[in-house]
Amino acid sequence: MTVRMDQLSWVEYERRVRKDAPVVFLPCGATEQHGPHLPLGTDALLASALCEDVAGKIGGLVAPALSYGYKSQPKCGGGNHFCGTTSLDGQTLISLVRDAVREFARHGVTRLVLVDGHYENQWFVTEGILLAMRELGKDSQLEVMRLEHWDFCTEQTLASVFPDGFPGFALEHAAVIETSLMLHYLPNLVRIDLIPDEPPADFPPYDMYPTRTDWVPASGVLSSAKGSTAAKGAQMAADITQGIAAAVRKEFKL
Amino acid sequence: MTVRMDQLSWVEYERRVRKDAPVVFLPCGATEQHGPHLPLGTDALLASALCEDVAGKIGGLVAPALSYGYKSQPKCGGGNHFCGTTSLDGQTLISLVRDAVREFARHGVTRLVLVDGHYENQWFVTEGILLAMRELGKDSQLEVMRLEHWDFCTEQTLASVFPDGFPGFALEHAAVIETSLMLHYLPNLVRIDLIPDEPPADFPPYDMYPTRTDWVPASGVLSSAKGSTAAKGAQMAADITQGIAAAVRKEFKL
Amino acid sequence: MTVRMDQLSWVEYERRVRKDAPVVFLPCGATEQHGPHLPLGTDALLASALCEDVAGKIGGLVAPALSYGYKSQPKCGGGNHFCGTTSLDGQTLISLVRDAVREFARHGVTRLVLVDGHYENQWFVTEGILLAMRELGKDSQLEVMRLEHWDFCTEQTLASVFPDGFPGFALEHAAVIETSLMLHYLPNLVRIDLIPDEPPADFPPYDMYPTRTDWVPASGVLSSAKGSTAAKGAQMAADITQGIAAAVRKEFKL
Amino acid sequence: MTVRMDQLSWVEYERRVRKDAPVVFLPCGATEQHGPHLPLGTDALLASALCEDVAGKIGGLVAPALSYGYKSQPKCGGGNHFCGTTSLDGQTLISLVRDAVREFARHGVTRLVLVDGHYENQWFVTEGILLAMRELGKDSQLEVMRLEHWDFCTEQTLASVFPDGFPGFALEHAAVIETSLMLHYLPNLVRIDLIPDEPPADFPPYDMYPTRTDWVPASGVLSSAKGSTAAKGAQMAADITQGIAAAVRKEFKL
Amino acid sequence: MTVRMDQLSWVEYERRVRKDAPVVFLPCGATEQHGPHLPLGTDALLASALCEDVAGKIGGLVAPALSYGYKSQPKCGGGNHFCGTTSLDGQTLISLVRDAVREFARHGVTRLVLVDGHYENQWFVTEGILLAMRELGKDSQLEVMRLEHWDFCTEQTLASVFPDGFPGFALEHAAVIETSLMLHYLPNLVRIDLIPDEPPADFPPYDMYPTRTDWVPASGVLSSAKGSTAAKGAQMAADITQGIAAAVRKEFKL
Amino acid sequence: MTVRMDQLSWVEYERRVRKDAPVVFLPCGATEQHGPHLPLGTDALLASALCEDVAGKIGGLVAPALSYGYKSQPKCGGGNHFCGTTSLDGQTLISLVRDAVREFARHGVTRLVLVDGHYENQWFVTEGILLAMRELGKDSQLEVMRLEHWDFCTEQTLASVFPDGFPGFALEHAAVIETSLMLHYLPNLVRIDLIPDEPPADFPPYDMYPTRTDWVPASGVLSSAKGSTAAKGAQMAADITQGIAAAVRKEFKL
């Protein structure tokens, strides 16, 4: 039985929503450069794959991913000057999320989780949720969880994945975490042979506009993905999916 | 070699855009009830499948589909009161299209085709294109084609698919055309056993708000999908993909 | 006694709204080229004239027309590149309709009909109504009908008006229907001597942006208005006004 | 030969725009209570009538009026709580004006005059013009004049119309100026017998929200229209039309 | 004890709001040229100072001023072409006011006064209040007063401040009233030696766009500030603060 | 000589902009609860004070602060449910920043720094800058820096300020950094006696909507401000102002 909403008929979807009050997951991705070795759809693909795993564990459903996200920034996604990166204005993403949340509430969904796979989306997704909640009013029974999936990697796992010490999520764009997760979920979309071996990017504590494109490695990779393996991906995917499942069970009292 | 943009790295995407000036296809779908026998994702799934076929023929690329569309209307999509139908406000869809077109222009794409698989999207997609074109200005080299895919079925095919006479596209929601195309492309998502056998809906020449839900069959199917077959789907898919390919070759001088 | 809201004092308007719960008609027009023989205001003028006729039959009222509409498209109105065509952005028209509907609800109007005389307006008018209804909430007593007036021509009349067979509404811009209706209602604004005698335009099943202006006859007329007469106009006006009156009586239980 | 744009064909309109660079007038009205003796359409009707007179003098053209305006305020228009008053949100009016100005520029119009007949419109009309001018850019040849028509009454005329002293424009809503102008232009829409004889409203130097409806006379008339005559209307209309004509000649170098 | 909200902790603010239902004042200013002798912040500084005085009298609180306002217009503020004038689009100011009013209502504030110190703000502030009130709905207990502070100068004071006759508020930008008020409140920000001695500007009864910058004195001062004194400022400040205090007591039943 | 733009006349401002091409600083604050010991205006007050210090060092100017910011979030600012916190919708803040940046560009400013003192503002400020830059176009000479001021504290200073180890910026709302900076800049606004002694808040790696207010300490302080001193504030202020000055000199080639 599929967890993908887009593969269910409305009759089946309604039956499940009415009967089970399932958790609905909305993956929030992007179309964004991820170096020469990962595909442009990485953020939506990973967020969707993780959501499907969690939904499978807890009887949830996964809505179609938001495939376009907020503008890539140099220090977290390489910047919006790359060819292929296809981004939305902030207000567009806010409206997209607001409309989707409003509709899930109309369906009778009471447990909604927005799983963000693109760091730059975070605040616009938050605003979209808040606008929808304001519109729905105090009597709405909808509760919404919002998260970035990588935050559920445990310290033990990070210590294991980064034997030389975890440098933090800041430069993890198209690097070991995302590459390993892709090797776990969608290995045939990874060109392991093309992973660049550049030193980590070094950014100052400020941003400049127009983008100083020379701050960003030409590959778009902010720190090396060398050392990525499917096994590491599996380990992190286990953390993330178990972590989200536990959070969902706790907060939604499943 | 894949035609799916989300499966390409930015390096490969850029290489192809620079070298081939490929046609980029943007499927515009919806998450909308399609009766008890077709999945909620039908419009995006079909538009994507058709785009991939056309792109394969002409060396094009297919961007990630817009998975959410404008509000379903009773007379063309059953209405927005169905559970599972998940729709956007008009301005949200306008902005989404505007932003995407603007970004493809930034990439250097000069040939863009928006393939609409959800009738209600049409005018908001048009406005999104027009806003982007105005912003890009007269010096832009981008040309955009916009179409609904079913309009490329030939009269001969329609005569063959509907031996009792083609009643027109108006009631073809979740009916023979979409069901046959799904049987051709994604048969395992079709529940042929659940096709309702209701008479065609009969609508007056006006709309009422709030929606008169009793105008719409409870199944959401506006005319029967009985008689749908994968062979009919293949025949129509051939028409549509050849028709779009020919149109693209002609207009973009390929 | 006038049916025109703009000619009534607020005292008289209020008296009628409170006493009779009259149907209020809002004509939705455009300022758009209609060939060399019809005036730029054709869509608003005709929609207003028809509304006044219907209102006269059923004791309704006619609000001031929306004189500007959505952007003319090549295949239905000739395109927005003509001098004189004066169009609104989609969001502007949506907001205009939303605001008007909200205000009629505040007046205590419960029966509102938006009569569209410009094909391109349709979806933005729909969205404006939907936004207003959402804002008004479920307790509102307002019901809204929306229609394009030409859809009320009967088959018999079309057979009579087009003795060689009715080619469909698609190319009827500034052609026999609109010209005949203008000859019926406002003959002194028609330059019958200037009707072009061009063959019908032939459009492919897609749109191109920027507009391929060479697809559109230089006159702006999509099919010939030759054969237009006031008598045909009277016959169609009778159909339309009787048809709308009947629809209104049925749906609003007058 | 008509000056009304909506009565001209696009061919004739274009011919005149290309040949004469005529001044185009856009009347900005409202649908707003004007007491028991004047119709709801007063502001648009008067602004249009005055524009037609000026256009006749100087070979100009008059575009269809904006028939809906910004929300009536207690101290200038009686307030937006009256039945029949049908108002727009500020952003809607801004967008409407912006879109219209943009389109006249596209036509090749270089001399545009927005004639405001509804005090509350003023700032939103201004913003609409400014947004259009910013979008058109510095190379645009369009020049725009904006005015309220009553400001062209001369002191001599005001002294004559108000023999007891002109109390200022502030309370002149549905009072002597508008009633006299209507008696001049559209006497059959004036119910002289219903003019209320109330003392002038007395407002404090602040506004309260929600509207203190008890500040406003129940009739909606802010000061008495007693003493209105068609002759006074003719005298003021002469001032206004000559004044605008002179201003236009001067500023547009006709 | 301070009246400035930005100097209070939330605990103290909440305590006062809960206990005293204090009047909250929101000064609405601008960053706008005020001639060579007054600072760019004049409008916000004066509105804030006056609010603090009134709040001191009646136990009110003063929220942080809106420091940026609507676009300066030639005839009231010199025009938006001056260097240093830093203005907002109309919709931005509308939204800013709407959001602030919404938040004060959430705090439990029931008595709110928007004190405008920049003439051009007036209508956008009004619309912001109206949008917030509509959103808050009929059950909200919030009442809002809106005013321009100079309107509280008494006739006696104006006669005294302008011994040669008060020419009206129209040209009082950076002139005697504002300069005297600044000499009263913030004398060290006034360069009395730089007051230009130009004749009053003379404007026609219409506006032109693009701005006719030659209509405006190069100094930005619309009439001379000669004769400004701190004593006059004190006299006007007394009028204004007593007038607002009296209005607030009356309308909010303190 | 003041660095505050609101205290300069436009003549002096223009003179400096033309002559020196000074760096203009725009402090971005908020009106937000900061515990029982810090005032609601903390974010704007600190950002302004730091900007003034930097401007003094390098001959820059400081524009009036944005006093209202984006909605406080539980995990960084305590949440938007506190009384006194007065927040803007995302789009409002985006527009505010866009308009301000556009105006500074019109002034001829080429070096602009937005100094954010409220973590939640970050992405909306970014979007506002990006929208302005897109509108200004590629020929604009404006360069913009954006930063959060605390990011310029050096590791040495943090080690000294937090002798038990710096726990990271995440919980530093109304805690040691902000309290010490306020003790340095505005000690009379700090109620050191009211600093709560609560353990640090402990948040899960996700957000819930509606806000789980029981996650947040009732005081609004996310970790204790005990140990705050003016000396620590001075040390951090030195880091921040020197760091920003150095960054500005480097990037703007002063």
- Domains (range + CATH), chain E: 5-252 (3.40.50.10310)
Q: F198, F187 in Cβ contact below 8 A?
A: no
Tokens of E216: 């405006």
- Binary contact (C247, B94; C-beta < 8 A): no
Q: Tell me the residue ranges of DSSP E strands in A106-246.
A: 111-116, 143-148, 207-209
**Number of Cβ pairs < 8 A linking chain C and chain D:** 173
Catalytic residues of F, by residue number, are 32, 34, 43, 118, 120, 173, 178
SS (H, E, C) D162-192: CCCCCCCHHHCCCCHHHHHHHHHHCHHHCCH
Interchain pair A14, B83: CB under 8 A: yes
pTM: 0.98
Predicted complex ipTM exceeds 0.95: yes
CB-CB contact of F76 with F170 (8 Å):
yes
pLDDT at residue D102, rounded to an integer: 98
Closest partner CB to D40 (pick from C6, C68, C220): C6
Residues in chain E with CB shorter than 8 Å from the CB of F99 are 68, 87-89, 92
**D67 vs C67, C92, C95: nearest CB:** C67
Mean confidence (pLDDT) of chain D: 97
**Subunit contact F31:E64, Cβ cutoff 8 A:** yes
Does pLDDT of D198 surpass 90? no
Percent of chain A with pLDDT over 70: 100
Supply the pLDDT for residue B170: 86
- Cβ of B38 within 8 Å of Cβ of A220? The answer is no
DSSP state of C164: T
Tell me the pLDDT tens digit for each residue of D75-124. Answer: 999 999 999 999 999 999 999 999 999 999 999 999 999 999 999 999 99
Q: What is the per-residue pLDDT across D209-245, written as a single tens digit (0 to 9) for each?
A: 999 999 999 999 999 999 999 999 999 999 999 999 9
Bridge partners for F88 per DSSP: F70
A132 interfaces chain B, CB cutoff of 8 Å: no
The one catalytic residue in C37, C43, C53, C239 is C43
Q: Is the pLDDT of residue A1 over 90?
A: no
Residue pair F38/F193 in contact by the 8 Å Cβ criterion? no
pLDDT for F134-151, tens place per residue? 999 999 999 999 999 999
pLDDT value of position F1: 79
Instruction: Return the pLDDT at E198.
Output: 83
Query: Partners for D (CB, 8 Å, 3+ pairs)?
Result: C, E
Nearest residue to E219 (alpha-carbon basis) of E173, E185, E166? E173
Which of B35, B66, B37 shows the shortest CA–CA distance to B51?
B66
Q: Is B32 a catalytic residue?
A: yes
Active site residue A149: no
* E32 in active site: yes
Q: What is the mean pLDDT of chain E?
A: 97
Q: What are phi and psi of E45, to 5 degrees?
A: -65, -45
- B119 contacts: CB under 8 Å, gap ≥ 6: B76, B77, B148, B169, B173
pLDDT for C197 equals: 85
- Convert the pLDDT of each residue in A136-151 to its tens digit: 999 999 999 999 999 9
Read off the pLDDT band of F197 (50, 70, 90): confident
**HEC per residue, chain F:** CCCEHHHCCHHHHHHHHHHHCCCEEEEECCECCECCCECCCHHHHHHHHHHHHHHHHHCCEECCCECCEECCCHHHHCCCCCCCCEEECHHHHHHHHHHHHHHHHHHCCCEEEEEECCHHHHHHHHHHHHHHHHHHCCCCCCEEEEEEHHHHCCHHHHHHHCCCCCCCHHHCCCCHHHHHHHHHHCHHHCCHHHCCCCCCCCCCCCEEECCCHHHCCCCCCCCCCCCCCHHHHHHHHHHHHHHHHHHHHHHCCC
Distance from CA of C155 to the nearest CA of D (A): 30
Which residues of chain A have a CB within 8 Å of the CB of F211?
none
- Give the pairing type, strands E207-209 and E143-148: unpaired
Q: Which chains touch A (3 or more CB pairs under 8 A)?
A: B, F
Which of F115, F148, F237 lies closest to F187 in space, CA to CA? F237
Phi, psi of B34 (to 5 degrees): -130, 45
- pLDDT at position E226, please? 94
Q: Name the residue in chain A with its Cα closest to that of B14.
A: A83
- Structure-token match 């690097």, residue found: A175
Instruction: Pick the range with the lowest mean pLDDT from B98-102, D166-170, E112-116.
Output: D166-170
- Tell me which chain A residues have a C-beta less than 8 angstroms from the C-beta of B98: 92
Which residues in B lie closer than 8 A to residue A39 (C-beta atoms)? 6-9
Task: Examine the residue annotation and report whether B172 is marked as an active-site residue of this protein.
Answer: no
> Considering only CB atoms, which chain A residues are within 8 Å of B110?
none
Would you give per-residue pLDDT tens digits along chain C (254 residues)?
799 999 999 999 999 999 999 999 999 999 999 999 999 999 999 999 999 999 999 999 999 999 999 999 999 999 999 999 999 999 999 999 999 999 999 999 999 999 999 999 999 999 999 999 999 999 999 999 999 999 999 999 999 999 999 988 988 999 999 999 999 999 999 999 999 988 999 999 999 999 999 999 999 999 999 999 999 999 999 999 999 999 999 999 99
**Chain A residue numbers touching B210 (CB-CB < 8 A):** none
The predicted model gives E87-115 an average pLDDT of 98
